[in-house]
Amino acid sequence: MTEIRPFEKKIWLSSPTMHGEEQQFVQEAFDTNWVSTVGKNIDCLEEAVAGYTGMKYGVALASGTAALHLCVKLAARRLYPDALPGNALAGKKVFCSDMTFAASVNPVVYESGTPVFIDSEPDTWNMDPDSLKKAFDLYPETRLVILVHLYGVPAKMDEIMEICRQHDALLIEDAAEALGASYQGKTVSGKCGSFGDYVAISFNGNKIVTGSSGGMFLTNDKADADRVRKWSTQSRETAPWYQHEELGYNYRMSNIVAGVARGNMLHIDEHLARKRQIYERYRDGLMGLPVSMNPSEMKAAPNDWLSCLLIDPAAMCRQVRDDKEPLYLPEPGKSCPTEILEVLARYNAEGRPIWKPMHMQPIYRNCPYVSAAGDCGEDIFHRGLCLPSDNKMTPEAQAVIIELIKKCFA
Ligand SMILES: Cc1ncc(COP(=O)(O)O)c(C=O)c1O
């Protein structure tokens, strides 16, 4: 084979893919001077995303994190009506997906709650129903669960929702990474973003549909939608002056950001198709290597937001990581995430380690962690990595990336 040269243009993990309508909607906002947190782009985006996920109401917010915070506040309000804002979860535990981005969990702490981390399972890498059951055995007073569909792969919704029902617990669905994914279960079916009592999605720059930033709260309950809209705009009461009866936040989405997201949302099917092709090309191209791709269940249709790789245990060279740095010992026929990521970076392609489980994070190390079958998330973090999954990556560029990965195992 000819010598492989670094990519002239960086291959990103997942960067925004713009089409033209985004700019038109932003221009329209300028032309009509709706350069604020109200306007047609916001209304149209809310309608489009709610309609797409099969929910009645969407409230566009500044970020997925803001959406999650307001989900937590709504749940706390229902479970513990006397609690004070900022302390709505004081003394309470919340069961949270362990292998996720910190934004899923931080809102629990914004409200003074204690996250209890629930280990992953190997079939979808999401919250393990057995570990969740064990957590309810250990902490039966807990009434709130925050569940993530990691990398756009739907979690085991039938099992998780049944466990929540048995324990009379509310479910916050963090579908930040999962817009476009769906699940056809025995008891629940539909699009990710339609299962939780409270739902958050994200339009941050690396997501499958982006507004450059932004998020959305989704619900079927008009009163909850109205509450979130009010809280997100500083909880203003209807009065001629600024009148406040409860704590508010400046969490509303801007009409400019909404213009980008509204335009980008028009192309969701195209983005999903490209992500699927990327996943399939990796799956086929890496066949024969001692690796597997991030899995999903038969009843799930992931959105393939990020294609990930898991190295077989026997094909792992020695790799250690402290809190900031990795080290590995190269070995013929074996590799590790650190080596592959270094090689990709050398050739100007961006991969990323698997999201480090929350129970391993210094900030959350002292929180309870429940694992029924033995640290599945830690193992995936050790052996796995996210591959360059950018929509704009050509098949030729991807073939080079596949070749580079093969060389790591030579
Ligand atoms: C699983 C998960 N939850 C929450 C968030 C937070 O979303 P945002 O960045 O829009 O605040 C993200 C992504 O950024 C995420 O990946």
The answer to whether 173 and 192 have CB atoms below 8 angstroms apart is yes
Helix (H, G, I), strand (E, B) or coil at 161: helix
Determine how β-strand 326-329 pairs with β-strand 318-321: antiparallel
- For the cut 80, the answer to whether the pLDDT of residue 2 exceeds it is no
Condensed to tens digits (0 to 9), the pLDDT of residues 36-45 reads: 999 999 999 9
Q: State both tokens at 202.
A: 């994200």
Q: What is the mean pLDDT of the chain?
A: 97
Spatial distance between the Cα atoms of 357 and 377, rounded to a whole number of angstroms? 6
Nearest residue (CA) to ligand 1, atom 10: 64
- Give the pLDDT confidence of 258-273 residue by residue, as tens digits: 999 999 999 999 999 9
Work out which ligand 1 atom sits closest to the CA atom of 100. 1
- The predicted pLDDT at position 110 comes to 98
- Identify the CATH number of the domain defined by range 268-408: 3.90.1150.10
Per-residue pLDDT, 142: 98
Second CATH level (architecture) for the domain 21-265: 3-Layer(aba) Sandwich (3.40)
Domain extents in the chain:
21-265, 268-408
317-334 pLDDT tens trace? 999 999 999 999 999 999
Cα distance between residue 63 and residue 174, in whole Å = 12
C-beta separation of 209 from 264 below 8 A: yes
Q: Is 239 helix (H, G, I), strand (E, B) or coil?
A: coil
Structural contact between residues 186 and 172, judged by C-beta atoms closer than 8 angstroms: no
> Which residue from 65, 72, 386 has its CB within 8 A of the most atoms of ligand 1, so it is best to mutate?
65
> Across the chain, which distance is largest between two alpha carbons, in Å?
74
- The yes-or-no verdict on residue 11 having pLDDT over 60 is yes
Ligand 1 atom closest to residue 67's alpha carbon, by position in its atom list: 11
Q: Which residues form the pocket of ligand 1, taking CB atoms under 6 Å from any ligand atom? A: 63-65, 100-101, 103-104, 148, 174, 176-177, 202, 204, 215
pLDDT confidence band for 373 (50 / 70 / 90): confident
Q: Is the pLDDT of residue 1 over 70?
A: no
pTM higher than the cut 0.85: yes
Position 120 scores a pLDDT of 98
pLDDT tens-digit series, residues 53-63 = 999 999 999 99
User: pLDDT tens for residues 180-236?
Assistant: 999 999 999 999 999 999 999 999 999 999 999 999 999 999 999 999 999 999 999
Q: Which atom of ligand 1 is nearest to the CA of 215?
A: 10
- Residue of minimum CA distance from atom 14 in ligand 1: 204
31 CA → ligand 1 middle, Å: 31
pLDDT given at position 112: 97
Q: Which of 247, 319, 318 is nearest to 73 (CA)?
A: 247
